[in-house]
Structure 1
Amino acid sequence: MTKRGWVAQLSHAYIHLFDVINRGYSRYTSRWMPPLVPMLSQWSPCLLVIQFGSNDAMPPPSTRHVPIAEFRRNIEQILASIELSATSVILVTPPSLGVKLYEATNDDVGQTFESVKACADAVREIASAFSVPCADLWTTVKEGAKEIGGEVDGYDAYSYDGVHLSADGNDLLFDVLMRTIRLQHLHLDPDSMPFTVPYYRDVDAALADGMDVTKPVSRE
């Protein structure tokens, strides 16, 4: 099954511009991430995309259950450890839970609409408090699914089990992120950034003219 991962799409969008490093860990919660944040400093990232919530919203006694108060503290701790003047940040809400689709494809008891919504609400509030952009995937998925409708309330357009994103869901998250970047971090818009190496057409032309080809050039 091809999922067209949103991180892979970011990597393609920023090819020749930045290295995109994927540090998304399967089944991780916000509780497990703060101790790992210092390792990010070795890369001096210009942009961090942070998304938690779906795993945290698992019910007790699951080992992944994180009470909403702790969830807030964990996200705040992550942001407090980042030098926001040097690193741009985008917080991403978890996608809205497709209850009917989840019940149709899962036998176990998992997240509820309300528990995931609580995490999405918290992410939006924390983003506002820290003055960082928020890519509201929750609302985008919920409104899109409502417009589609159907037997599983339209969530099958974005997810294969009501929780995890399908190929089209990954496309949607990529689009939401790119819109957020262009609205909130315009200097990081890949369509207007110069290559970190000379553009090949300019190299060809410069070599033909005997010019210096070692400087980055704009694609304007």
Structure 2
Amino acid sequence: MALAEAGARGRALLWPRVVLFGDSITEFSFQENGWGAYLAERLVRKCDVVNRGLSGYNTRWAKLILPRLIPKSDSAESTVAVTIFFGANDSALKDLNPKQHVPLEEYAANLKAMVQYLKSVGITEDRIILITPPPLQESAWEKHCLAKGDQLNRRNATTGQYAQACARVAQDCGTDVLDLWTLMQRKQDFSSYLSDGLHLSREGNSFVAAQLWSRLDKKLSALPSLLPYWREVDHMQPEASLL
């Protein structure tokens, strides 16, 4: 059977996708032992996990590019979940890092605008998860800043204000929220979750993966495996199983 003929006989496979949208903590999540890589492994044969992490970005910039990443022309049915994970850069101190800093009220408004945009293209609130920034371990991040000739440009208490704003937006919009800032600090020494005081360590990646999976699993458990297990393929007439 010619490939063109085979393609005509079988309907097109629409592979669902989970979109991870965020800053460097998302971009780095596909590295070895990263939380995004963990999700991709758990969801293989069910859907694609698409990394749209952009190092250094804040919600002011993210709001502008989201329609380019998930345009209205996309089938809403194909996007089964979206995570929005910003705040680590927005919460930078204005005087010391004005390029990345976004005022608290604008940060909340930007998150709300992104949720509303997703809903406008058919991605309902039950498929959206907001993730707060993790806590900042100030002494470790200060060493990182000093090594670059900078001052400490973030504060954990300030990051906490942004985390609270993110949680409020989730409540107002009816989405799920993963409050990493609160959850991680339930451990007395949360520094083990962080590699440099800001970004995730291997233990931090494992923590995020477990927490996020507990939320995603409920949303995606009904997704079928795509294409039959190899033992189930009729080797005498494979087209009967595969088309």
Bigger fraction of residues in strand: 2
What is the aligned partner in structure 2 of residue 198 from structure 1? 228
Partner residue, 1:130 = 173
**Does the aligned pair in 2 maintain the 1:101–1:155 contact within 8 Å?**
no
Q: Aligned residue for 1:33?
A: 62
Normalising by structure 2, report the TM-score: 0.75
Task: Indicate the residue corresponding to 1:91 in structure 2.
Answer: 130
Q: Percent identity?
A: 27
Q: Which residue of 1 aligns with 2:89?
A: 55
Q: 1:210 to 1:112 in 2, by over 3 A?
A: closer
- Give the aligned partner of residue 220 of structure 2: 188
Partner of residue 174, structure 1: 209
Q: Give 3-state SS (helix, strand or coil) of 1:83's partner.
A: helix
Instruction: Report the Cα offset of residue 104 of structure 1.
Output: 4.4
Q: 1:140 aligns with which of 164, 176, 183?
A: 183
Distance in 1 (CA, whole Å) between partners of 2:211 and 2:112 is: 23
Does the CA contact (< 8 Å) of 2:86 and 2:133 recur in 1? yes
Secondary structure of residue in 2 paired with 1:23:
strand
- Structure 2 Cα separation of the partners of residues 105 and 24 of structure 1: 22
User: 1:210 & 1:59 partners in 2: Cα distance?
Assistant: 61
| Superposition RMSD in Å | 2.2
Secondary structure of the residue that 2:88 maps to in structure 1?
A: coil
Q: Distance in 2 between matches of 1:140 and 1:201?
A: 43
Deviation string 1:45-99 (CA, Å, 9 cap, x unpaired) is: 2210111111111111321011101101110111111127534100011111112
Q: Secondary structure at the match of 1:119?
A: helix
The equivalent of 2:194 in structure 1 is 159
1:7 aligns with 2:36: yes
- When the two structures are aligned, how many residues end up with a matched partner? 199
Q: What 5-or-longer segments of structure 1 have no aligned partner? A: 147-153, 216-220
Structure 2's unaligned 5+ residue stretches are 1-30
1:46 counterpart SS class: strand
Cα offset for 1:155?
Answer: 2.9
Change (3 A) 1:3 1:214: closer
Residue 51 of structure 1 contacts residue 92 of structure 1 at CA under 8 Å; is this kept in 2? yes
Q: Does 1:102 align with 2:130?
A: no
Q: 1:35 deviation in Å?
A: 1.3
Contact 1:3/1:166 (8 A) holds in 2: no
Distance of 2:196 and 2:131 partners within structure 1? 20
Please give the alpha-carbon distance, in whole angstroms, between the structure 2 residues aligned to 1:187 and 1:208.
37
User: Does structure 1 retain, via aligned residues, the 8 Å contact 2:141–2:152?
Assistant: no
Q: Is the Cα contact below 8 Å between 1:155 and 1:162 reproduced in 2?
A: no
CA deviation map 1:2-21 (0-9, x unaligned):
75221121111111111111
Could you tell me which amino acid in structure 1 is paired with residue 231 of structure 2?
A: R
Q: Is 1:115 matched up with 2:158?
A: yes
Q: Hey, what's the Cα distance between the residues in 2 that align with 1:15 and 1:3?
A: 17
